[in-house]
Amino acid sequence: MGKRPAPLDLDLEPVKVLLPLMQYQRWQVMNAYAERHSETNVIEVMHILLADPRIQLDATIYTIGISACARATLPQTALEFFHSMRERKAQPDLIACNAMVSSCEKAGRWRPALTFLESMLTKKLQPNIATEQ
């Protein structure tokens, strides 16, 4: 019988938890921090990941980062993550766009929120109930 891997110690600095992990494991770490409502750690992890251009991130990881920015009322950081998503060829999906709209809305930035809604329509991403909340 194989040895079970040790559980992740999320109380360590995010960089020490994150660097040796593979893509799926990075997603698990991001999700675990998000579930703990640790927006600061999620945002820190995103900055660590984005600092290395060799690391490929998918839409799910970007969405977790953008959602953390929405909860922390940091729309500018969310926008940076969203632009990085495009630059690194990770295709923004409906959930990522919803998170971006939410980030703008929670900060009271209605014009950018409306711009994102319009861009969703031009990309044929149909806004849903989550977009409207």
CA distances from 59 to 1, 6, 9, 29, 63 (A): 35, 27, 25, 15, 6
Cβ–Cβ contacts within 10 Å for residue 33, how many? 22
Residue 19 is given by DSSP the state T
- The Cα diameter of the chain in Å comes to 58
The predicted pLDDT at position 65 comes to: 93
- Complete domains list, the chain, with CATH: 14-132 (1.25.40)
pLDDT tens across the length of the chain (133 residues): 445 545 555 565 655 656 556 666 777 777 787 887 788 888 988 898 888 887 888 888 899 999 999 999 999 999 999 999 989 988 888 888 888 888 888 888 888 888 877 777 776 665 554 444 4
* Model confidence, pTM: 0.73
Residues 6 or more apart from 23 whose CB is under 8 A from it? 56, 57, 58
